[in-house]
Amino acid sequence: MKVTFIYPAVGKKPGERYIKTWTMEPLPIATLKALTPKDWETEFFDDRLELINYDTDTDLVAINVEAYTAKRAYHIASRFCERGIPVILGGSHPTLLPEEAEQYADAVLVGNAEPVWTNILEDCWRNALKKRYQGSPIYTVLPDRSIFKGKQYLPLGLVETGRGCSFHCEFCAVSAYYDAHYVPRPIPDVVEDIKRSGKQFFFLVDDNIAADLTYLKQLCKELEPLNIFWASQATLTIAKDEKLLQSLVNSGCRVLLIGFESLEQKNLQQMQKEWMAKVGDRDELVQRIHKAGVSIYATFVFGFDHDTPSSFEEALAFSQRHGFFFAAFNHLLPFPGTALYTRFQQKKRLLVNTWWLEPGYHYGDVVFHPQNMGPQELSERCAATRRAFFSLSSILQRGGQLLRRHPPLRLFAAYWLQNLKLRREVDGKLGLPIGEGLDELPK
């Protein structure tokens, strides 16, 4: 028996290559590979890097689906269904919208695969796949990265440390997926996974690595002897504890992605992230993180009801004043299954209900009516803010600020390389047709 894993791509402009910074190792596929018994043959097509062989000889096709890749995933699924090959869809999108996913496949996996994957394979072998399987966030295996052999991913090791987040931010699909729960991964598994990967630079995949501070302190202790560099995602609350900041640095933490979302308190209240304003003085907390030796990848979201044109300028000025390593300036996107999506739907503010399936939907399109500006204006202001942040003068100025914080040489080199790459991609991503252009080269 043979199972074919497929990781669909977001979309591609005709004749252009896929967005390079979107080609990290797809960890869920390595986990599925590890869960698959040895008597099953496996193969893997990464739609972001290569063409899919729709004629491959296989017994089951398993596709990982996110909102941005749903349209493409359903297209791929239908190609295999036409041949009578059973297809199962899993990942965040089918978990949040199983009824929709069921229309495009023989089976749907809701939640994480660990407890049910071998049952699914057995049912497939008996030709008795069920319509729906219910997984849960438990850790049972170390990912088997041999499935990535021969594929060119970014040279960054991805290692999971936890799933979910205990906060309830209104727009957050992670909170909806894990029902505002956090599940940390056993630390010995994290350490073993890092050792096996053979890499030196890591992104510790965690929706909020500061969700359980006792766990994080212990993790830092165990990572210290490994002599690695790592980045992850955290909330600003991490800056409250100076000893913890020092432990982070000692363990190799050099960059943290922090979701500031908005500098306007009324917006934070509306998105149920008002606790951000109560953590302390934002500028002081940022300085503390920088002083400890950790750089910040700041993310902002625009389109909340109290955003005005000056909100963009303020976020840009804040980001440049602090010399952030990277920053993202995105418009609000109502992901299905979130409280935000429900609110917009009830208030009839959605321009399209299922934007992820909409023909002609492009990356960067706004799909709801913002309160204080038009959808097009919101999209354009986000793009203009990105262009300003990644302008050469801004990169130079932020590079100077980073230098004054005495970064390790490798981090300083990574700053220039990645900022110049992201600068090129600002306009490359805009207008990218979702789910299109992927059955052709170049990739």
Name the β-bridge partners of 362.
433
> Which residues contact residue 390 at a Cβ distance below 8 angstroms, ignoring those fewer than 6 apart?
419, 422, 423, 426
96 makes contact with ligand SF4 (CB under 6 A): no
Stretch that binds ligand SF4, among 22-30, 84-92, 170-178, 331-339 (CB under 6 A): 170-178
Q: Distances in Å between the alpha carbon of 402 and those of 61, 313, 405?
A: 46, 22, 5
The reply on whether position 92 binds ligand SF4 by CB under 6 A is: no
> Which of helix, strand or coil describes residue 113?
coil
Window 46 to 65, contacts with ligand SF4 (CB under 6 A): none
How many C-beta atoms lie closer than 10 Å to residue 165's C-beta?
A: 23
61, 65, 165, 205: which one contacts ligand SF4 (CB under 6 A)? 165
Task: Decide whether 172 or 228 has the Cβ nearer to ligand SF4.
Answer: 172
The yes or no reply on residue 174 touching ligand SF4 (CB under 6 A) is: yes
Cα separation of 109 and 271, whole Å?
29
Applying CB under 6 A, which part among 141-149, 169-177, 218-226, 242-250 lies near ligand SF4? 169-177
Long-range contacts formed by 412-417: CB under 8 A, 24+ apart = 414/201, 415/295, 415/325
Pick out residues in 269-328 that bind ligand SF4 (CB under 6 A): none
Q: Say whether residue 167 binds ligand SF4 (CB under 6 A).
A: yes
Q: Stretches 122-130, 164-172, 284-292, 352-360: which one binds ligand SF4 (CB under 6 A)?
A: 164-172
Strands 157-160, 87-90: pairing kind: unpaired
Site size toward ligand SF4, by CB under 6 A: 10
Closest CB to ligand SF4 among 120 and 165?
A: 165
Applying CB under 6 A, among 100, 207, 264, 436 the residue interacting with ligand SF4 is 207
Q: Which is nearer to ligand SF4, 63 or 289 (CB)?
A: 289
Site for ligand SF4 in 208-267 (CB under 6 A): 208, 235, 259
Q: Would you give the DSSP letter of residue 45?
A: E
Query: What span, in angstroms and rounded, lies between the C-alpha atoms of 366 and 351?
Result: 8
**Residue 342 CB partners (closer than 8 Å, separation 6+):** none
Binding site for ligand SF4 (CB under 6 A): 165, 167, 169, 172, 174-175, 207-208, 235, 259
